[in-house]
Amino acid sequence: MSAENSDRSSAVTTIYIDGAWRAATSGQEFDVLDPADGSVLGTASDGAAADARQAVDAATAAFATWSRTTAYERAAHLERAHALMLERAEDLALLMTKEQGKPLKAARNEVRYAADFLGWYAEEAKRVYGATIPSSRADHRFMTMRQPVGVVAAITPWNYPISMITRKVAPAIAAGCTIVLKPAEQTPLCAVAVFQVLHDAGVPAGVVNLVTTSEPGAVGDTLLDSPAVRKLTFTGSTEVGMALNAKAARTVKRVSLELGGHAPFLVFGDADPRRAAKGLGLVKFLNTGQACISPNRIFVQRELVDDFLDVLVERVAAMKAGSGLDKDVTIGPLIDAAAMAKMRRQVANAVEHGAKVLTGGERLTDPHLTGGQFFAPTVLTGVTPAMDVYYEETFGPIVPVIAFDDEDEVIAMANDTAYGLAAYVYTGNLSRAFRVTEQLRFGIVGINDINPTSAAAPFGGTKHSGLGREGGPQGIEEYLDTKLVGISL
Ligand code: NAP
């Protein structure tokens, strides 16, 4: 075998275009790291503008036929993908824990959540209904048709590396769209595993395409500048989402944005402090705080603060950090050194402005943790608006606690943010639960509930947290245009 051939046969092929796996056109590759110990887990093809263009061409060609399949045919593909993902659930969860770092139990939950989107939109594909509209003329009729928007560009983050993909791909292909997806550079291997599921489920060539890359700008710009791409769906930071939104406007694309959050968690004096503290401990440290709906500002009515903190600090101090593959680990690593630097800065800035660290507050230095970015789960009290942690998305295991005195005051404090994704309210008073929920300017509110998410329910934010909804009937609307038809009889 010639040197050229042997090079080609050993090339990494994580780009999926027109139904086939291939290497980057440039031949470039990049390493994928295990965040728990910094070791190299694998390699991905480093796609660039040329690969993105080929993917758009494949998706454009496939749209002509896929958009004309019946909803029943599209549903059958999604049902097969749903079954395959569940069959492979354990392998997918193990891969996710290694590549992204979350504890295995949380990875298993994410795979089930991811599969739910495939199953749910297999059914919803069959419920895309138009309408008939009364006309003012006796010899005239109106009707509407729902049609797929076209080729979709999707960009996803690393923190939920499998479910953020199915949350977009499932409704898009259920609606009859074709898609080109660029995953986060930290988690391309999870994306490859999802696309292998879609391939093995028989999704036709060109309908779903994947471009892995360490150069998001070049691939993103190619997708956004292409007039063939009619829709951008993005999940990631507000900063990047705003920039992409501006670029998408140049070709007037439909846009959905799932962006950052800074969730308030309100605990009223009539709530059970133990239950509230337990709920907070569970939801806050999910994925080491690296979740867009993670509670970041904990407002506790003054008379409950001591009871709440006693339970919370005891639970937090007992958490075990380590590789997500180790038994009983509840705190995985942060994704990278930049995340560690942000945690240190937020804590130092809070302490400088008068906050007290009740537990944690620093990098964990146990010998088995030094290969990864492990920050101790941290509880801060005495937090004020003068501190960075009050207004800036944390995206890590820091719990800032703020005392409040009355309902109007805490609603104003909770709404005092540019973000509007999730909020949580703990109260034993039903009237208060409704009053407060109606005044919170957030897209999602959990009332005595830490898990207000499901494939069947609309997920999304207001203000700088984004545009549009994913999940539920609203999730497929994002991929449909309405065509009005007038008929003279
Ligand atoms: P990010 O830095 O904005 O990255 C998100 C995606 O955008 C990645 O695939 C990234 O690629 C890509 N990207 C970055 N710059 C780009 C550019 N110029 N052109 C095209 N693509 C570009 O966010 P992240 O750190 O991965 O994720 C954390 C953020 O996501 C947090 O703010 C979190 O709240 C938010 N989030 C929101 C939701 C939600 O549903 N609302 C869910 C999960 C996460 P690279 O990886 O190659 O940089």
How far apart are the CA of 330 and the centre of ligand 1, in A?
A: 24
Is residue 190 domain-resident?
yes
Active site residue ranges = 258, 292
Does the structure show a pLDDT above 70 at 273?
A: yes
User: Which pLDDT tens digit goes with each residue over 370-407?
Assistant: 999 999 999 999 999 999 999 999 999 999 999 999 99
pLDDT value for 5:
39
Instruction: Name the residue at shortest CA distance from atom 11 of ligand 1.
Output: 184
Per the structure, the count of domains in the chain is: 2
One domain, residues 116 and 203: yes
Instruction: Name the residue at shortest CA distance from atom 9 of ligand 1.
Output: 184
**CA of 213, closest atom in ligand 1:** 47
One domain, residues 233 and 350: no
Is residue 223 domain-resident?
yes
User: Which pLDDT tens digit goes with each residue over 90-146?
Assistant: 999 999 999 999 999 999 999 999 999 999 999 999 999 999 999 999 999 999 999
One domain, residues 88 and 232: yes
One domain, residues 254 and 400: no
How far apart are the CA of 467 and the centre of ligand 1, in A?
A: 15
One domain, residues 26 and 101: yes
CATH for 303: 3.40.309.10
User: Which pLDDT tens digit goes with each residue over 200-223?
Assistant: 999 999 999 999 999 999 999 999
Q: From CA 480, how far away is CA 128, in angstroms rounded?
A: 9
Confidence class of residue 8 from pLDDT cuts 50, 70 and 90? very low
Residue 403's domain spans which residues?
263-418+422-454
Q: What is the mean pLDDT of residues 311-330?
A: 94
Q: What is the pTM of this model?
A: 0.96
One domain, residues 254 and 309: no
Instruction: Name the residue at shortest CA distance from atom 5 of ligand 1.
Output: 236
**In angstroms, what CA-CA distances link 126 with 76, 130, 261?**
11, 12, 33
Is residue 460 domain-resident?
no
One domain, residues 309 and 288: yes
One domain, residues 167 and 100: yes
One domain, residues 245 and 269: no
Instruction: Name the residue at shortest CA distance from atom 40 of ligand 1.
Output: 258
One domain, residues 373 and 412: yes
How far apart are the CA of 328 and the centre of ligand 1, in A?
A: 29
How far apart are the CA of 45 and the centre of ligand 1, in A?
A: 19
Which residues line the pocket of ligand 1, CB cutoff 6 A?
155-160, 164, 182, 184-186, 216-217, 220, 235-237, 240, 244, 258-261, 292, 393, 395, 421, 461, 466
User: Which pLDDT tens digit goes with each residue over 423-443?
Assistant: 999 999 999 999 999 999 999
Is residue 459 domain-resident?
no
**CA of 157, closest atom in ligand 1:** 26
How far apart are the CA of 237 and the centre of ligand 1, in A?
A: 5
Is residue 97 domain-resident?
yes
One domain, residues 148 and 287: no
Given a contact cutoff of 8 angstroms between Cβ atoms, the answer to whether 181 and 210 are in contact is: yes
Sequence-ordered list of residues with C-beta below 8 angstroms from that of 314, at least 6 positions apart, any chain: none
**CA of 465, closest atom in ligand 1:** 41
DSSP 84-152: HHHHTHHHHHHHHHHHH---HHHHHHHHHHHHHHHHHHHHHGGG----EE--SSTTEEEEEEEEE--EE
**CA of 461, closest atom in ligand 1:** 41
- Beta strand pairing status for 29-33 and 40-45? antiparallel
CATH for 184: 3.40.605.10
Query: Residue 482: is it exposed, middle or buried by C-beta count within 10 angstroms (0-12/13-18/19+)?
Result: exposed
Candidate of 235, 459, 474 to mutate for ligand 1, largest count of ligand atoms within 8 Å of Cβ: 235
pLDDT value for 11:
86
- What integer best gives the mean pLDDT of the chain? 96
Q: Is the torsion defined by CA of 394, 399, 401, 407 positive or negative?
A: positive
